[in-house]
C-alpha cells in the first residue's frame, strides 16, 4: 500500500522529497489541497473538515498510513481525527512531535516525564492558525521544562510561496524575523513550523544569524518515518510517487517544478 502525504499546498513536498531520498522506491501518494490554500488563515472547523476530506481521499487511494505534512492541519485536526473517526486499520501521523523530539533531543517515542533540556529559548515561525492553537507549546511541555517559546505568526508567507513570488516571500521572512527578535533577541534555536518555510530556510538563517540553529521538518519527519516503518513494516510497499491536487494542475505542476528545480507533474483529484 502507498503512504499518503497531505499538505494544504506545495509545502509538504519538502517532506515528500526527503522521504523519497531516505526510502527510495516507496510508493507514495502526495495530495495538495491547492484550491483551498492557505489553511493558516481559516477557522478550526474549516481546517478540520478540509483535512478530514483529504485524508478520506487518500484512504481511497489505499493509503492506510497518512502523514499530515501541514503544521496547521496537524495542530488543529490530527488529534481529533485520531480520537473520533480513525478506522482500526488506518494510521494518521502529524509532523509536530518528531520536530519537538529533535529540538529537545528526545529519542523517537520517548514518553518519559518532561525534563530540562539544553535549549532554553525557541523562536517559532508558523501560520497564524498554528500559532493560535499553541499546539507546539503544548507538545513541548510533555517533553521539556524550562523552555521559553516565542511564536511569530507569519501572515502572507504561504501565499507568496504558493504564487512563487520569492522576492515578496524573502521580504516577509525578514520582516517576521525582525519582529520576533525585538521580543526575543537571542533565541537558541528557530523552528520553521510550516512545511512551506524550508524553501526559504537560507533566508531565515541569514535574518536570524549564524549563531541560531534553524530546524525544518523534511529530514526530521523522514527520519521519524524510517524508524516508524522499521516497527511497522506492513506499510512498506515499492512503487511510484503520485502527485494529486485539488487546484489547477498546470499551475500547480509549474510552481512545484520551479520550487524544487525538478519536473513534478500533478494530476487532478
Enzyme catalytic residues: 70, 194
CA distance 75 to 44: 10
List the grid coordinates of 111.
514518553
CA distance 142 to 100: 10
261 burial level (CB within 10 Å; 0-12, 13-18, 19+): exposed
Alpha helices by DSSP H, listed for 8-144, are 13-22, 44-60, 71-73, 79-84, 96-103, 128-133, 135-141
* Residue partners of 80: CB distance under 8 A and separation at least 6: 48
CA distance 14 to 242: 15
Amino acid at each position: 500500500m502507498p503512504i499518503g502525504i497531505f499538505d494544504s499546498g506545495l509545502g509538504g513536498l519538502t517532506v515528500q522529497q526527503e522521504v523519497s531520498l531516505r526510502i527510495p522506491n516507496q510508493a507514495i501518494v502526495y495530495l495538495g489541497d491547492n484550491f483551498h490554500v492557505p489553511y493558516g488563515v481559516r477557522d478550526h472547523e474549516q481546517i478540520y473538515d478540509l483535512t478530514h476530506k483529504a485524508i478520506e481521499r487518500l484512504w481511497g487511494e489505499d493509503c492506510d498510513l497518512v502523514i499530515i505534512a501541514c503544521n496547521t492541519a496537524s495542530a488543529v485536526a490530527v488529534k481529533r481525527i485520531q480520537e473520533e473517526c480513525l478506522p482500526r486499520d488506518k494510521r494518521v501521523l502529524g509532523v509536530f512531535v518528531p520536530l519537538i523530539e529533535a529540538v529537545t533531543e528526545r529519542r523517537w517515542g520517548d514518553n518519559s516525564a518532561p525534563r530540562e533540556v539544553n535549549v532554553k529559548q525557541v523562536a517559532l515561525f508558523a501560520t497564524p492558525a498554528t500559532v493560535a492553537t499553541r499546539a507546539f507549546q503544548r507538545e513541548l511541555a510533555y517533553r521539556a521544562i524550562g523552555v521559553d517559546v516565542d511564536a511569530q505568526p507569519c501572515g502572507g508567507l504561504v501565499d507568496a510561496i504558493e504564487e512563487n513570488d520569492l522576492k515578496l516571500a524573502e521580504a516577509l521572512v525578514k520582516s517576521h524575523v525582525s519582529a520576533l527578535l525585538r521580543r526575543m533577541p537571542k533565541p537558541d534555536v528557530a523552528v520553521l513550523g510550516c512545511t512551506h518555510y524550508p524553501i526559504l530556510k537560507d533566508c531565515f538563517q541569514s535574518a536570524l544569524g549564524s549563531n541560531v540553529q534553524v530546524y525544518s521538518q523534511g529530514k526530521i519527519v523522514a527520519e521519524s518515518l524510517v524508524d516508524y516503518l522499521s516497527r511497522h513494516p506492513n506499510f512498506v510497499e515499492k512503487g511510484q510517487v503520485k502527485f494529486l491536487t485539488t487546484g489547477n494542475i498546470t499551475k500547480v505542476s509549474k510552481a512545484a517544478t520551479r520550487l524544487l528545480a525538478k519536473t513534478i507533474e500533478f494530476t487532478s483529484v
